[in-house]
Amino acid sequence: MSVLVVLEQHGGKWNRMAFEAAAAGKMIAESLGVPLQAVVLGSAIDGLANDAARYEFRKVFATDNPLLARYTPDGYTAALEQLIRAHQPRLIVFPHSYQVRDYAPKLSTRFRKAFISDVVGVKTENDQAVFVRQLFQGKLSADVRANGNPQFASVQAGAFRAMEPGDGQAQIERFAVKLDSAQIRSQPEEPFREAQRSVDLTAADVIVSVGRGIKEKDNLPVVEALAGVLGAELAASRPICDNGWLPMERQVGSSGQTVSPRIYFAIGISGAIQHLVGMKGSKTVVAINKDENAPIFETADYGAVGDLFEIVPALVEEIKKSKA
């Protein structure tokens, strides 16, 4: 009855969230008093398994199969199903990555169990894990308890500090899976990036970023004026780009650019996790939002609660004055 962490890798490199999930798994395993194990899936993964063995796992399962060379939901689900049935962990912990979103609900459904996705915290009560997840993109929290085993949970990016490698010498156990190419229905092609972006926000010193609070495309001059007086790059949350109000290449977040300017102004942006992961490396964050409970205020250094259509023009005037 272990806690099993699925260590995600792409092309022989760890997903940086893999060891955040490991840290969450370790915390739970310790409070439940059960061993912590990990699994690596792929093809020709000896190097990765050896690397994983340096961390504080009791055991690392190496599931090596040519049909796992490229990720497919069918291949990963079948392989992990076999491992879970054979070794019966009580909890399987994943990073809440795009890949995990793609197969973990399928895997948990195979066991007719709920998948507790995007967890930001864990408590243990009466020898049971209680998972904390966010609702309404971070506006509310919920405590969720699973009943029966196995349990399945994924961990939000940044919610746990990644486990560091130690001088641990975890035992590596090869776990052979039976896979048949006919089982694998999807044919993934090589991953690719779009053509070079003409806007590089990653080098920007000051960024003025606008969200759905701007309401209409015609209101963009309000924030453009601020960007102008600051000599800042204009950026946006996803819905602004989805609507075509600003080009996609100005999007900040998990599916846009990751930026770390000296100042980041988040204007009319609520602060969903997919936006936060793209900008929380900024040195100073200023949030302007009319909702005092907007999650962005948790990430901001300075927050102005109020109507952006009043505050931003006033800010432009103040900055002009201070420069005069």
Ligand X SMILES: Cc1cc2nc3c(=O)[nH]c(=O)nc-3n(C[C@H](O)[C@H](O)[C@H](O)COP(=O)(O)OP(=O)(O)OC[C@H]3O[C@@H](n4cnc5c(N)ncnc54)[C@H](O)[C@@H]3O)c2cc1C
Applying CB under 6 A, which of residues 89, 213, 261, 303 lies at the interface with ligand X?
Answer: 213
Residue environment code for 1-24, b if the CB has 16+ CB neighbours within 10 A, otherwise e: ebbbbbbbbeeeebbebbbbbbbb
Nearer to other proteins, 147 or 169 (CB): 147
CA angle 189, 195, 198 (to 5 degrees): 155
Q: Is 69 in the site for other proteins (CB under 8 A)?
A: no
On the 0-12 / 13-18 / 19+ scale of CB atoms within 10 A, 249 is: middle
Q: Residue 67 binds which one of ligand X, other proteins, none, with CB within 5 to 8 A depending on kind?
A: none
| Contacts with 113 (C-beta within 8 Å, 6 or more apart), sequence order | 146, 148, 150, 151, 152
Helix (H, G, I), strand (E, B) or coil at 35: coil
Q: Is 117 in the site for ligand X (CB under 6 A)?
A: no
Give every strand in the sheet of 171-174, ordered side by side: 128-135, 115-125, 151-155, 91-95, 3-7, 36-42, 59-64, 171-174
Applying CB under 8 A, which of residues 169, 181, 193, 221 lies at the interface with other proteins?
Answer: 193
Q: Is 322 in the site for other proteins (CB under 8 A)?
A: yes
The candidate with the shortest Cα–Cα distance to 79, out of 179, 187, 185, 182, is: 179
Q: Is 269 in the site for ligand X (CB under 6 A)?
A: yes
Nearer to ligand X, 26 or 133 (CB): 133
Applying CB under 8 A, which of residues 189, 198, 218, 324 lies at the interface with other proteins?
Answer: 189
As a whole number of angstroms, the distance between CA 104 and CA 85 comes to 15
Question: Shortest approach of other proteins to residue 43 CB, angstroms?
Answer: 18
Nearer to other proteins, 19 or 115 (CB): 115
As a whole number of angstroms, the distance between CA 32 and CA 124 comes to 7
Nearer to ligand X, 40 or 308 (CB): 308
Applying CB under 6 A, which of residues 307, 313, 314, 318 lies at the interface with ligand X?
Answer: 307
How far, in Å, are 140, 195, 239, 287 from residue 272 at the CA level?
A: 12, 27, 12, 13
Q: Is 258 in the site for ligand X (CB under 6 A)?
A: no
Could you say which residues in the range 251-310 bind other proteins, by CB under 8 A?
A: 254-258, 262-263, 283-284, 286-287, 291-293, 295, 297-298, 300-307, 310
As a whole number of angstroms, the distance between CA 92 and CA 2 comes to 9
Distance, C-alpha 121 to centroid of its chain = 14
Evaluate the omega torsion of the peptide bond into residue 150 and state whether it is cis, within 30 degrees of 0. Answer: yes
Residue nearest to ligand X (CB): 253
The token duo for 97 is: 């990555």
Applying CB under 8 A, which of residues 143, 174, 200, 217 lies at the interface with other proteins?
Answer: 143
Applying CB under 6 A, which of residues 256, 263, 264, 316 lies at the interface with ligand X?
Answer: 256
Q: Residue 3 binds which one of ligand X, other proteins, none, with CB within 5 to 8 A depending on kind?
A: none
Q: Is 315 in the site for other proteins (CB under 8 A)?
A: yes
Q: Residue 300 binds which one of ligand X, other proteins, none, with CB within 5 to 8 A depending on kind?
A: other proteins
Q: Is 308 in the site for ligand X (CB under 6 A)?
A: yes
Per CB under 6 A, residues contacting ligand X are 137, 211-213, 237-239, 251-256, 268-270, 272, 274-275, 278, 288-291, 294, 307-309
